[in-house]
Copies of this chain bind each other. A is one copy, B any other.
Amino acid sequence: MVNFTSKQAMNNKVRIQDSFWDPFMELVRGTVIPYQWDALNDAIEGAEPSYAIRNFRIAAGLEEGEFGGFIFQDSDLAKWLEAVGYSLAMMPDPALEQTADEVIELIAKAQHENGYLNTYFTIKKPGQAWTNLHEAHELYCAGHMMEAAVAYYDATGKRKLLDVMCRFADYIETVFGREPGQIRGYDGHQEVELALIKLAQATGEERYVKLAQFFIDERGTEPNFLVEECRDREGFSYWTQKKQPIPTVAQMAYNQAHKPVREQEVAIGHSVRAVYMYTAMADLARLTADESLFSACRRLWDNTTKKQMYITGGIGSTHHGEAFTFDYDMPNDTVYAETCASIGLIFFAQRMLQLEAKSEYADVMERALYNNVIGSMSQDGKHYFYVNPLEVWPKASELNPSRHHVKAERQKWFGCSCCPPNVARLLSSLNNYIYTSSPSTNTVYTHLFIGSEARFQLAVGEVVLTQQSKLPWEGYVRIELTLVPQETFTLALRIPSWSQGRAAMKINGVLTTYDTVNGYASVDRPWMQGDIVEWELVLEAQLTIAHPEIRANAGKVAIERGPLVYCIEEVDNVTSLSSISIDVGQKLQPNYEPNLLGGAVMIGTEAYANESTSWVDDSPYRPFTQQQALERVRLKAVPYYLWGNRGVGEMTVWIRKGGV
């Protein structure tokens, strides 16, 4: 039983206007989207070619040539188009829209008569579609293009790509299923599931939800589809281009297909696949009121965010398979914390908020957004981290192979370039993450404090409000109600975990009490047009410790201030950074530096540093009794998201507690 009533709630109209976030969005609009367009067209000097557009041209019969790039290269164009859709929704741009229209024509030309669309199989393996779901990313690419189609349709009202992708989805529906002759299987990389939900919401077609549900329900059941499919291929692997041993069901944990999704206890395997799947599970739990799915979502949320999440909102502790490892295993130096995974975590959080408004989801969403995600992009919008480490020693990144994946500098467009367009599509759709509303309970929830104008349709009528925010630098938010219904409705403001509950609300200048419901300050009252709600959050720099089971952070603290995690960089401090220990008894002193990287609050405090001048004899080890007094030094920390923008150097988030 599909419940589409919440569709409206998701499509609240929100427009961002915010001094912190506008520059990011402007960067996406003005730089990232054009730059990525060049990248898709292989027009960036010194970067590996993408081949994405060229593949479509070849598949469409407009050009001769070989397929280039990864097997999932189509998804890069899809993610770019999705970002374009969001961007056009925010700000019209006829030239960009025309470019998009043209590329959509190209995509349509590459579609087969029966609806199938995938340039790799069209160019390179005609007739072999759906023979390697385990590795070939066909449904994954389809899903991304569906998301693009929906975004572009929402922004422009143009149905061309939407129709293309509905035709593809209709075809997929005939290929996959439980009837004789159908494939009772699913993709090796989850994505189509969440995309089908979007397609259903855009078109009102409930059967797309059912198809998503099929994929989710089948996943991990016995006999294991992916294992059997490998057996049918006699173990032939696309990646190694030779026969491999048939994998075990347990090895399908990499694809979260080792057991039915409702039985999965912990986040495991490739982290992007995992969070994309959890996102679709939460969508389905909401739309079909599936309690067992909901409880699996809660369990996987808890494990992911409480036992396997870095303080920056990064997930995935190992580059081997870009994967989760196990509870509390969070090395800072050999970390993965892929940008895409944090973006997927934000998707998951958003869907959980749609299921139930609990501030912990928004806390995590905010953590991932303000740290791991925006930190992945350079200030020029043209360089990206794929891996987002919490500790970097550039020489080790260069010379110790265990750390080669940890780059000390943001890179140009990647060969496997999933992250940059993912950042673009998230930032350009950020307006969708700030609020949710519950029309039935007549509640408007504010999850993120980002300046914006928002319009909501509740049962009692329409609400329009304007939010102004001084986040992340100051804990002050002001909401003006510019349109209110006659009857009462509830305004619910998140009490961020970082405020430690120290949050005061004023209505029209008068301090007001509020009910705390699931971490939200809730005020249910008759509102007047022009009412001003001020939300004063204590935003103090603080030292944070990690759970004692997180061995990597033993004896260390991190600095946080509001939603921002801080780090220390070599450029501001003595080297090596490991020689520094922070004097935990001293005050943390925030200082806004307007000229530094667009303006930011730095934090200064007192610390100790090991002296090194007495190690004249070059011996690597010596008695502790010969240790000299520590030096007193000044420590300066910068927001994590700004690290690595001032040359190559050491960086660390976790700092030793001093001063022994």
Contacts and interface: CB of A to CB of B under 8 A. Distances in A.
A318 B547 contact: no
Nearest to A652: B551
B544 A615 contact: no
A656 B623 contact: no
A542 interface: yes
Contacts of A576: 548-549, 551, 554
Interface stretch (A182-190, A226-234, A306-314): A306-314
Interface in A600-621: 610-612, 615, 618-621
A387 to B, nearest CB: 13
A525 interface: no
Nearest to A302: B618
B618 A584 contact: no
A581 interface: yes
A596 to B, nearest CB: 26
A545 B622 contact: yes
Given A542-B625, A543-B625, A660-B660, 14 more contacts: A307-B618, A307-B620, A309-B620, A318-B402, A319-B402, A544-B622, A545-B623, A547-B620, A551-B578, A554-B656, A555-B656, A584-B624, A584-B660, A658-B660
Given A542-B625, A550-B620, A401 B318 contact: yes
Contact of A548 (B317, B402, B547, B610): B610
A325 interface: yes
Interface string A329-367: 101011000000000000000000000000000000000
Given A557-B624, A623-B500, A624-B584, A329 B400 contact: yes
A331 B401 CA distance: 12
Nearest to A325: B400
Contact of A612 (B302, B549, B584, B619): B549
Contacts of A622: 544-545
A326 B624 contact: no
A656 B627 CA distance: 15
Given A317-B400, A399-B325, A555 B542 contact: no
A240 to B, nearest CB: 11
8 contacts: A302-B618, A306-B618, A318-B400, A321-B401, A329-B393, A334-B402, A544-B622, A554-B610
A495 B224 CA distance: 67
A584 B623 CA distance: 12
Instruction: List the 10 shortest-distance A-B pairs measured between CB atoms, nearest first.
Output: A320-B401, A543-B624, A554-B578, A551-B578, A325-B400, A326-B399, A548-B610, A548-B612, A657-B660, A555-B656
A244 interface: no
A374 to B, nearest CB: 19
A477 interface: no
Nearest to A549: B576
B545 A402 contact: no
Nearest to A558: B621
A546 B620 contact: yes
Nearest to A305: B620
A619 B359 CA distance: 14
Nearest to A498: B623
B329 A399 contact: yes
A129 interface: no
A395 interface: yes
Identify which of A302, A331, A551 gathers the most chain B CB atoms within 10 Å of its CB: A551
A255 to B, nearest CB: 16
A302 B319 CA distance: 34
A486 interface: no
A559 to B, nearest CB: 10
A366 to B, nearest CB: 14
A627 B551 contact: no
Interface string A294-311: 000000001001110101
A579 interface: yes
Nearest to A585: B660
